Each structure stands twice: as C-alpha cells, then as structure tokens.
Structure 1
Amino acid sequence: MAGSVCVEEDDPHVNSVVDMSSRDLEEVPFEYRVVGRFHCVTQLLLQFNSIVSLPDDLPIVFPALETLNVSGNELETLPDSLSLLKDSLQTLSAAENVLHHIPEGLKKLVHLRVLRLRGNKLVRLDNVFGTNMTNMRELYIDENQLVRLPSELCFMTALEILEASDNKLTYLPDCFGNLKMLKVLNLSNNQLKEVPSSFSQLPSLITLDISNNMLSSMPNQLVSSYCLQSVFLNDNLLTVMSEWFSNTSQLQELDISNNSLEGDALPQAFGLQSPNVQFLSLAGNHVTRLPESLCNMSHLRELKLGSTIPEIDRRAFQNGNWLHSLPEEFGGLVSLERLWLDENKLNCLPQSFGSLSHLTFVDMCQNLLSELPDSFCNLSALVTLYLSRNQLSVLPPDFGKLSQLLEVRLDNNLLEMLPKSFEELTQLKTLDLFCNKLRDFPRFLVNFSQLSRLDLNNNLFKFNSDDVPLSFCKKQYASRPDVEGWKGKARVDILPMEGQKVILSKTESDEACEPLVEMSDVFRRALFKGQSIWKSHSQSGKRPVDASSIFKSCLREVIQFEDTMDNQADLKSDGVFGSKQDYDKTPADAVDSMRSVKDSPENWLPPCEEDWDAEINENNHATDVQFLDSLSASQSQYKDQVVVNLSSEQRAMLRLTLEKGLPYYDVKDQFYINVALQTEKSMVKQDLPVGLTQQLIVEGQFDDL
C-alpha cells in the first residue's frame, strides 16, 4: 500500500488514500476487504492492474469513498452496489476497460461530479443517467461505440466538459441546448449529419470540436460565438461559413480545412472582428480569394492554405485551394511563423511578402510562380523553404541573404543557373535541385560542410567525370566495453569510409571540360545517383529517370559477344541469380531475350521511376548499378566484390557483370563475397562473413556458402 490507511475509529474525519495501482493485481486483495477498518478512506486507487471484477462488498468496506479509480483494468461491468456510495462518491474513473454495460444503480450517485468511461465498448447509455445528476461537471465517454446520446444527458445542467469523440453518433438529443454551462464540447470523429436547432442556444462554449463528421451546415447563429476561443470544423462537408463567424472576437484557433468552401469563404471583415487568431487553417477547400482584412491579424502565427494530404500519400491531383494571388498587404501578418500555400495557383507574390520577418517555414510547392519578389530575400528568419513544382527560371540575386536556411527544395522548376550569392548558404543541410535546366555545375557545393541530402539529377550538366572516387562501407563491430553480456554494433553511417579510385570512361565531349574537384560522399551520391529526398517530385510520387542511357552500352556489348557467350558455361544460382525458371535459361536464351528489348531497354532495366520505399532502404548506398556502364574492362585488376541478397534487376545486372568481367559494388546489406574471375569462369571463395546464409553456385564450381 503506497498511501496511508485510516484506522483511527475515534476520528472519522481523517482523510486517507489506499493506492494499489500498477501492481498486476487480478482482484482486490482480501486484506483490503475487512469491514470497519477503512471507514474513513476517501480515495481508492486501483488503476492499471488486471482486475476483471470488483467485489460487491467494496462500498461496505470503503463507505466514505469520494474517489474511485479503476481505469486500465479488464472490467466488463461495474457492481450495482456502487449505488451505496450515493452520499459520498464524487469522481468515478473506469476508463480503458472492456465495459459493455453500466448498471442502472449509477443514476443514484447524485453527488457525482466527474465520470470517466473513455475507451470501453459501450454501445448505449440508456437508463444510466438520472434526472437528478445535476452536480455532474465532467463527462468522458469518448472512444466507445455509442450511436446516440440519452436524453437524460440534458438534465446535467452544470456540465462543463463533454468528451464524446470517436464514437458512432448519428444525432444529438433535441434538448442539447439545455447544457447552459458547457464550455468544452468534443464530438469529433462521429457520423453526425446535422445538429439540433437548440445547439445555437449553448451560451458558454469556449472550445468546440465537431471535426471529422458529415455536417453540411452549421446553425446560422450561435449564442456563444462571442466567447469561443477554439473552433475545429475540419473534415466535414461545409459549403459556407455561418453568420456567427462575424462575431468571434475571442477566437484564437480556427480549423475549417478539408471542407467544400468556395469563393471568399471567410467574411470580408473577419480579420477585423477576430484579431486574436493565432492559428487558421483553410487548407483543402476551393477558396479563390482571401479578404483584405486578413492582413490585420497581427497575432497570427500559423496559416494553412494548402493541401491536407501528407506528401507521401499525394498523387497527381489538386488538394489545396484555388488562390491566384495574395492580398497586397499580406506582409501585415507580422507574427506569422509558418505558412502553407502549396497546391494553389499562385503566379506571383506581393512585394510586402518580405515583411514577414518572423517567418521560419514556407511551403509554396505546386504553384505557378515564375519569379520571387526581391523583398523575398528579407526573410531573415527563414529556415525551411519548399518551392518544388513551380515555373521558376531565376532566383533573386540576393537569395544568399537567407542565411538561416537549412532546407531548400527547388525541384521540378526551370532554373538555368543559381545566383552567385547562393554560395553563401553554407548552413544548408538539404538541397533539392532535381529536374531543372542547370548547365553550370555548382562547384561551390563542395564547401557546404553541413550538407547531408542533395539531389542534382535530371539537369543539363556537362563535365569531365575523371577521377571520381568510389566509396563503400564494410560491416564492422564496435569495440566491446568491459561490461559482461554487452553486445552492440557500430552504426554503419558513422564508420570511416574505405574506397578506391575508379577511372570512368571518357566521351569526346568530356575532353574540353574541367575535372571535378574532390567531392564529399554526399556530393558524390547526389551526382551519380541522387540522394532520396522525401518529396514527391512528379505525378504519382515517383521520379522519372532516363533508364536507356544507363545500360545502353551494356546491352550493346552483350549482343556483340553473343557467339562467345554461347560457348561459355551457364551461370546458375540458388537464391541469388533468379527464380527456378531462370536456372534453366542458357546465356544464348538470355541474349535472345535481351535482343528483343534492345530498342526498349526500359522493359528490361530496373524500374525507371523512383519508388520511395525502395529509396529509403537504399538511402546509404555508396554507388549502384549505374556505374557498370561506365566502367571499362581494363579495370579487371581490381578485386571484384559481389553483394548477396539482390533484387531481381540487380541479379540480371550481376550476370552481365560477370560475363563482362567487371566489378560490381553494392552496400545494401554490407555482406560481401570476394571472388576472382578466371578466364574459364571458375570462381574462388574468399573471406566470407561469419553467419552468411546465402548460397552462391556457379556451374558447380562453388559449394554451399
């Protein structure tokens, strides 16, 4: 017992607590069921056990209980004998059980002030509440399976908090407006299609949450509009805003996102009549204009006017609004810190935009912006900037003045060059320049020491690719401390890199270009592979890649060596090179198959669009199969390394690699098999990792590994 127990019968007014919470109890211990010993205990705490039932004599053993907490157990019902506590019990907590039924005796607890029944399996509450439960202040019945609220609820005229979210409510009792003292009302995540007319007579509401229902309208008038501070009507079917929104002088939070609001949506004088708003969301509607009065909301800190769908779930459709422009005095939102304008139709920004001196986050992806105003560079507090999928062809000359920037996404634009001041953004950690029209390689990026994610793919760079270092990680274990039984591994991403220099084949156009400077690992990966950046770059969240240029020469060489390959031993494997049907294919068969697709290599190559799930797993690759086309046969002096547990496309490339005598690198699983290619295609097993369970069989030359 954590608390003290009152046993002094001569002083019945001494308060005490019996605390048996979190003890893995399956029942109330017998020693706490002695009549007469606990007559002055006022609090009995039994929460977070495994109790399946309460003893019927519990009110007799604890006759003076004011607080009973049995939350977090496995109770299916409560004893009807609790009605014996009608003169004392004020707080009853039975949340997070498996209650299917509440006894009718509960209605006799006329002094009950707080009732918590959250997170049970209640379907109905008929005959549970009495007409004389007028002392009830707080009622928590959320996260059940209730389809309606009983009319007796309306007799709780002193009720201040009603939490009934996450049920299956389809309507409210007509007398709902009788709850004159109600301050907090949460009816979110139900199936309400309308509210009764008496709803408008609730005079004391401070917080109103009816989000995620099926409401197509709200009452035109609401008596409590003048005192409302937080209103959440998001995820409904509202087409217009009610008149009472013009009288919300105390409003601080308003979320009406993901409805069907059109046109102006907000009242013209909204910004003047609700000057204290700090959070406003109109995201996911069909709003075309914002009222000029919005610019007077000097306390606004977050404004959401874009999409409501998480970017990882987005597809090729518009989910934001239809804003073509912002009010000229938009810069009057002097306290604004975070702004979402993604997926609109903005073609320009007002000059006053640069006055948003507290702005730290801006998302303006998927608009029609062709340029940014010069004042944009005055956003000195800006840390995160998303401008993906616009029509930007140039950035302001002073873009480098945004010295606090850590993340910039400019993918899928029309940028042909970066301003010289860009090189001043040395604090950048993420830079996405995918799919632009850049021709001059941004060599200053090598000085961006904080850069960890960089994407330069799909641009128009031309440069000499000589002397590009190739790095890969080897699996290592951290040193073992002097602690018995300790096991652990060093994080691969913080291990020192090992590598060797690989000379890539030149083209005639490369000869006139300057060699690249020494590159960091992230720079290298951005150049040759493209580091995954969690942002949808095009259409259905996949990034297009020019697959034909990757393996074109590889296919060409295979076709040329067809006769030679017909005379060589067939490569077979178990669990490495393909399915059972692939084992029976001869090299000639494979070549015939490849010849049939030589004009459409994308049908044979790895998927030519970016798959985000796959990119997560491959995020730390030092290189991939894109190197194979550029590697020359003269590099056979390097010790070849083959990684197991490959994808089907990688298996196909591995087969071609072995035929061409080229090395293959992959660090996906950090498992390596070192092999030496001989002229007769025999292979020698070397330095296999301990515990490696894969098998590699090549024409009987290898035993099971």
Structure 2
Amino acid sequence: MASPLSALLLLALLALPAARDAAQDRVDDGGGYEDEEGEAVEEGEGVLPSPGQRQGSCPSSCTCSPDGAVECAGAGLDSFPASLPADTQLLSLQNNQIEVVPIAALKRVPLLRTLNLQNNLITSAGLPADGFMVLKELQYLYLANNKLTQTPGSLPASLVSADLAANFLTAISPGTFGGKPDLRSVYLHNNRLTNAGIPRDAFLGSDAVETLILSSNSLTRAPLGLPPALQRLHLRNNKLHSLSGGAFDQLRDLRELYLQHNQLNDRSVDAKTFTHSRRLEYLDLSSNNLTLVPRGLPARLVILHLERNAIAALDSQGLGRLRSLEYLLVHSNRVRAHAVGAAAFRNLRRLHTLHLYSNELNRVPRSLPAHIKVLMLLHNTIHEIRAQDFAATPELAELNLSFNRLSTKRLHPRAFTRLSKLASLDLTGNQLTHVPVGLPASLEVLRIQQNHVAVLGNGALSGLPALRELMLSDNALASKTIAPNIWAQLPSLTTLDLSSNALTVVPSSLPASLEYLYLQNNRINSIPEGAFSTTPNIKGIFLRYNRLPPHVKDMFMGLEELQVLDLTGNFDGTPEPGADDGEGGDGEGGDGDEEEGMGNPQKELPQRRRAVERGTSVPRPQKT
C-alpha cells in the first residue's frame, strides 16, 4: 500500500500540471491572473535533521502526515509558517496571502522535495536572493501566480521542474535554470519576457530539459541557446515575426512546437526553418498571417494546424512531402475550390482528418485524400454535390456539409451511394426540401435541421437500418405530410428531433428502440391513443410550448423508463393544480388512493413537470 506521502506527492504532481494547462487556456482566451503585492525577507539559521527525525510542530491551520507531507493550501495564511516538522518533504502553501519567504524557515526543512507557493502575494523582494540553495533535495518548485519581477538568483541543482508562470518577469538570470542536469520542465508563460531577457546561456548545463513553456510573453523571435533535448516548446501568444537564423537547428529531438497567435508571414518561415527538425510531429501555425502553406515542413509531421490565417491555395509544394500527416486543419482561411491543386493531397496517404470549413469553397474540391475519414466542409458556399465528388473517398465516416447553399435539385441522387462506411452526415442549414435519396445503409447520425423539408414520404427513410439519431428540427413538416408508418423503417432509432415544425399530432408507430423524442415548439394539440405503446424504452419526451390540453397527462402512464417529461407552456398557460409553488397540494405527498402498479397520476405528473421546470431529476412512478 502506498504511504500517505507517496499519495500526496502523486496528487501534487498530477494536479499541478492540470492547473498549469488551465492557466494557459485562460491566457489563450485573453484571460489572466490577479496581481498582488509583496514585501522584504528575514534570515535565520536551521539545524539539519536526520531522516525520520521529527522537530518543530505542525502549524495549527495545516495538516501534517507522519511521512513528511504538510498541507496548508487555502488556509488563510498571511505569513510563511514559523514552525514546521524538520522532516517535511512536501509543503503545500498555495492559495494563501504569503508575502515573504524567510530563509530561516527554509533552513528548518532541508529535506524538502516539493514546495508549492503558487497563488500568493510574493514579490522578488520577498524571496531570499539565494535562499532556495539551502534546499539541497528540492525537486519541484511552484511559484506561479505571484508578483515576481525577477527570477530567483540561484536554484538548487537537484531541481526537476520549476513553474514561474503568471508573474511579471522581464528577464531570466543564468543561475536560475542553468547548471541543473536533472531539470526536465520549465513553465514561464504569461510573463513579460523579451528576447533581451533570455540570454543564450540561460539554460547552460541543463541539457535534459524536455518541456519549455514561453507562451504569452513579448518575444519577437525564437530564443537561441535552448536546451538541446527539448521535445515540447510553447511560443504561442508572442510577437514572433521571424523564425529564420537557425532558431531550431540544435533542437533535433523537438516533437511539439506551438507557434500560434504570433505575427508570422510567408517570409517568416522559409524552406530551411525546419531542416533539422526531423522528429517534429506536431506543429501549430494557426492565427498568423500566412497566405501559403510553408515550404520545407518536416516530413514526419502528424498534426498540422494552419487555421485562421489567410491561406488561399493548397498545393503539393507545401503538402507533398508530408507522408506521415494524419490531421490537416486549414479551416477559417480563404481557400477556393479551384485553388486546391490536383496533386495537393496525392502523397498524404495517412491523412484521415481534413478541416476545410469556413473557407471560400463553392464546390467540393477535386482529388480529396483517398483514405480520408473525417471531412469538415461546413460554412462554405457549396451549392452542388455531383455524383463523383466523393467517389474516391470510400473510407469517409463523418461528413459535415452544414451551412452551405445546397438544394435538393443540386444534390445528385448518387452523391453518397459509394460511401459505404459513412456513419455521420450533417446537412444542417441548407436549402433542402426533401431528405436526400441514396443514403448509405451504414448511416448512424443524420442531421437536416434548419432546411425547408416539408414532406416525409413512404420511402424517404428506407434503407437506414443503423440510423440512431435523426435531427429534423426547424423545417416545414406537418403531421399530414409525414407517412403514417415511416418510423417503423428505423429499427435502431434512439433519438428523434422534430421540434420547431408545424406538427399538430404526436407521431404514431414510433420504433421500440426510441429513447428521446423532441417535439417542442410545434402546434400539437392532441396525442393519439396508444401513441407511446410502441416505445417501452423511452426516457425523455419534450413537448414544451405546444397546445396540449390538461388531460393528456394520462397518456404517459406506464412508461416505466421515462425520466424527463417536459410539458412547459401547454394547457393554455394554466398550470396544473399544485404546480405553481411546488409545496404540498395534490402534487406531492398525501395519502390518496393509488392505482395498482404505479403512483396516483394526479400526484406524479405535476411532480414530474415541476421537476423538469426546476432542472432536477424526474421521479419515476412509485411501485406498490
């Protein structure tokens, strides 16, 4: 069984990287950290204890384990604890109001391995100049989200990870991160670092660093002299305008490079920029000023982000050598169909995900990758799908054509017939008047919301045995324009959305597989007898804002799997008895008579409706 200290160490090491990632996400979204003040430092002496020796006492607002873990997070402390057990190895002081870290206090815990001081009020004046050097065993130091303007002058050679993110640092001292053979990760994002503030010898003697986060600073070019073992380098949210000059030549093990949200243009990235980055697998160049796919990209790339640039064309010069590429994200650019070269994707035999949405495509590009599985073409101006558009993509499983200009007349009857593996098709937000014909039998999800579909004839949904979700909301369907037994053709259907149409009656002959039925915002004024007799597995019925009379509540008795019933906005606006305040009345409690096998419907249905309106779970019928 793991010791309490081991468990706390594991929790600390798992939680803190997650906190760092969350902080970086806030930075990317334009967020930040709160700023605080700090003060000066005290000095003192300490005595080196032998392992296992207990000296000092546990602070009253903290929790101390016998194995050397002291937990003081969020304890309301405004000063560093004056007394700590001498054998402390893990000290958590995050989320307090500490301003000063006295060297005397550090000397009393010479066995300390993990020190977490993030989210306090510490300034550089509040840190002892070389005070951390007394901690010869220190491996993990967390000082993020304070108000440091300078890095500590020296840190112990034993250091493995240091987090100084979200401060006000403008420069790095050579003694801070240099000369540390065990150092693996350094987090410096969300500071005020400039190129002048990162000397070439900043990491000299720390050749094992694998992760360096410099995002959200004020860098104009990639720093030089970075650790040669780097595998993950974050430079996003800076002011980079050039990557020339051999910036990455010494980083031969680099696998992930984040360059998004900078000022890079076509001249910034030349054919030699990544010459020596032969192991690079992940490259993010999104949100820059590129108009072309950069030349000379590493052949081993697996994921390439180029979204939110000004790219107008795709050709083999930029993409031809990327034989390992699996994900290509080129959405939110200016790509036009005629500017997609016939050989642009020819060598991309591993490419399975292609994002081309929010471009200027007026048709499906020719010569799509043969092994593509996910194709995103939404938010373009595509007005026609021809018979051959997807003929060469038999592996396609997910196709999104939503929010284009497709009409039923310009959708070829054989447009999708060859897609024998297609599982999801999204045609939302087009100009269709009918469900497309020739849909593949493999289809599991079909979305045709926000179109002009007015009729569902007898064969409209035939040949779709695997269909689980059918979304037809915001169309022009009426009860009389839906074939009576059309739903029986869908034996696997679990979700049916017919909301925001012109229905006057709840559909009948629904499949037994159905679990969720969405009918809100129609004109439904009646529920046929036995409408739900074929749906024993139904869990949710949504009839909000229709024209149903009060007596329809009897129609839902016997649906033992029903969890949510939403009848809000029916009954001519008159609430059911007891439904106005949710207290007492006939809606809850009481000793009234009950029918055999279930609770009294006069009690349960108002209770269910109130639960729906409150957002709480819906009670099931009570068994007797």
TM range (shorter): 0.5 to 0.7
1:148–1:171 contact (8 Å) kept in structure 2: no
Is 1:2 aligned to residue 67 of structure 2? no
Report Cα offsets for 1:390-418 as digits up to 9, x if no partner: 55755571615434323322532578333
TM (norm. structure 2) is 0.62
Match of 1:305 in 2: 377
Check 1:169–1:139 CA distance in 2 against 1; reply closer, same or farther (3 A cut).
Answer: farther
Identity %, equivalent residues: 17
Q: Which has the larger radius of gyration?
A: 1
- 2:261 is aligned, of 176, 189, 195, to 189
Match of 1:634 in 2: none
Check 1:522–1:428 CA distance in 2 against 1; reply closer, same or farther (3 A cut).
Answer: same
- 2:547 is aligned, of 501, 521, 528, to 528
What's the RMSD between the two structures over aligned residues?
Answer: 4.4
Check 1:420–1:116 CA distance in 2 against 1; reply closer, same or farther (3 A cut).
Answer: same
Aligned partner letter, 1:105: P
1:193–1:216 contact (8 Å) kept in structure 2: yes
- 1:33 is aligned, of 106, 127, 134, to 106
Match of 2:441 in 1: 378
Is 1:353 aligned to residue 365 of structure 2? no
Aligned partner letter, 1:93: A
1:160–1:183 contact (8 Å) kept in structure 2: yes
Is 1:420 aligned to residue 423 of structure 2? no
Give 3-state SS (helix, strand or coil) of 1:280's partner.
strand
Is 1:121 aligned to residue 191 of structure 2? yes
Distance, in Å, in 2 between the alignment partners of 1:390 and 1:332 is 30
Give 3-state SS (helix, strand or coil) of 2:439's partner.
helix
Match of 2:89 in 1: 18
Distance, in Å, in 1 between the alignment partners of 2:340 and 2:88 is 53
Is 1:363 aligned to residue 426 of structure 2? yes
Match of 2:522 in 1: 457
Aligned partner letter, 1:623: G
Match of 1:429 in 2: 495
Give 3-state SS (helix, strand or coil) of 2:482's partner.
coil
1:400–1:424 contact (8 Å) kept in structure 2: yes
2:349–2:370 contact (8 Å) kept in structure 1: yes
Report how far residue 522 of structure 1 moved: 4.2
Aligned partner letter, 1:98: N
2:336–2:362 contact (8 Å) kept in structure 1: yes
Aligned partner letter, 2:448: Y
Aligned partner letter, 2:496: T
1:621–1:666 contact (8 Å) kept in structure 2: no
Check 1:89–1:191 CA distance in 2 against 1; reply closer, same or farther (3 A cut).
Answer: farther
2:146–2:166 contact (8 Å) kept in structure 1: yes
Distance, in Å, in 1 between the alignment partners of 2:441 and 2:375 is 20
Is 1:201 aligned to residue 273 of structure 2? yes
1:400–1:422 contact (8 Å) kept in structure 2: no
Aligned partner letter, 1:124: T
1:239–1:261 contact (8 Å) kept in structure 2: yes
Give 3-state SS (helix, strand or coil) of 1:93's partner.
strand
Report how far residue 256 of structure 1 moved: 0.5
Report how far residue 245 of structure 1 moved: 1.0
Give 3-state SS (helix, strand or coil) of 1:303's partner.
strand
- 1:231 is aligned, of 295, 304, 321, to 304
Report Cα offsets for 1:453-494 as digits up to 9, x if no partner: 114737xx9xxx6xx58xxxxxxxxxxxxxxxxxxxxxxxxx
1:377–1:398 contact (8 Å) kept in structure 2: no
Distance, in Å, in 1 between the alignment partners of 2:453 and 2:543 is 28
Unaligned 5+ runs, structure 2: 10-47, 52-86, 533-539, 550-564, 587-624
Give 3-state SS (helix, strand or coil) of 1:356's partner.
coil
Report how far residue 186 of structure 1 moved: 0.6
- 2:469 is aligned, of 406, 412, 422, to 406
Report how far residue 231 of structure 1 moved: 0.5
Aligned partner letter, 2:488: E
Match of 1:249 in 2: 323
Aligned partner letter, 2:519: L
1:291–1:327 contact (8 Å) kept in structure 2: no
Report Cα offsets for 1:17-74 as digits up to 9, x if no partner: 9322366674658776338x84xx6944426564725433434312465x34215452
2:215–2:238 contact (8 Å) kept in structure 1: no
2:152–2:176 contact (8 Å) kept in structure 1: no
Distance, in Å, in 1 between the alignment partners of 2:323 and 2:470 is 37
Distance, in Å, in 1 between the alignment partners of 2:580 and 2:374 is 41
Check 1:98–1:282 CA distance in 2 against 1; reply closer, same or farther (3 A cut).
Answer: same
The alignment of Structure 1 onto Structure 2 pairs a total of residues equal to 466
1:99–1:122 contact (8 Å) kept in structure 2: yes
Check 1:170–1:57 CA distance in 2 against 1; reply closer, same or farther (3 A cut).
Answer: closer
1:457–1:527 contact (8 Å) kept in structure 2: yes
- 2:212 is aligned, of 108, 131, 140, to 140
Check 1:383–1:79 CA distance in 2 against 1; reply closer, same or farther (3 A cut).
Answer: closer
2:220–2:240 contact (8 Å) kept in structure 1: no
1:211–1:233 contact (8 Å) kept in structure 2: yes
Is 1:281 aligned to residue 341 of structure 2? no
